Amino acid sequence: MPSLEHQVLATVVPRIRGGAPVEDEDRFRAEKLAAPAPASRPPRLRGVQVDRLPAPFPVHDLRVRGTDPQRTVLYLHGGGYVEPEDRVHWRYAARLARHVDARVVLPSYPLAPQHTWRDSHDALVRLFEQLAIESPAGVAIAGDSAGGGLALGLARTLVARPGPQPARLLLVSPWVDLTCTVAGTEEAALRDPWLHLSRLRAFGRWWAGGDDVTRPELSPLHGDLTGLPPGLMWCGTRDLLQPQCRHLADRAAEQSWDLRYVEEPGLIHVYPILPVPEARRALAELDDFLAPPWRP
Q: Is residue 14 pLDDT above 80, yes or no?
A: no
Q: Please report the pLDDT score of residue 18 as a whole number.
A: 64
Q: What percent of the chain has pLDDT over 90?
A: 85
Q: Please report the pLDDT score of residue 287 as a whole number.
A: 85
Strand pairing of 72-76 and 59-64? Answer: unpaired
Q: What is the CA radius of gyration of the chain?
A: 18
Q: pLDDT digit string (tens) for 209-218?
A: 999 999 999 9
pLDDT, mean of residues 147-170: 97
Q: Please report the pLDDT score of residue 295 as a whole number.
A: 56
- Helices (H), ranges, the chain: 4-13, 25-34, 87-100, 121-134, 146-159, 185-191, 197-208, 242-254, 277-289
Amino acid at 21: P
Strands across the sheet containing 139-144: 48-53, 59-64, 103-107, 72-76, 139-144, 168-172, 231-238, 259-268
Q: What is the mean pLDDT of the chain?
A: 94
> Could you tell me which residues come within 8 angstroms of residue 136 by beta carbon, excluding any fewer than 6 positions away?
70
Backbone angles phi, psi at 23, to 5 degrees: -105, -35
Q: pLDDT digit string (tens) for 162-173?
A: 999 999 999 999
Q: Please report the pLDDT score of residue 117 as a whole number.
A: 98
- Its pTM stands at 0.96
Q: Is residue 296 pLDDT above 80, yes or no?
A: no
pLDDT, mean of residues 32-57: 88
As its CATH architecture, domain 4-289 has: 3-Layer(aba) Sandwich (3.40)
Confidence of residue 219 (pLDDT cuts 50, 70, 90): very high
Distance CA 184, CA 204 (A): 19
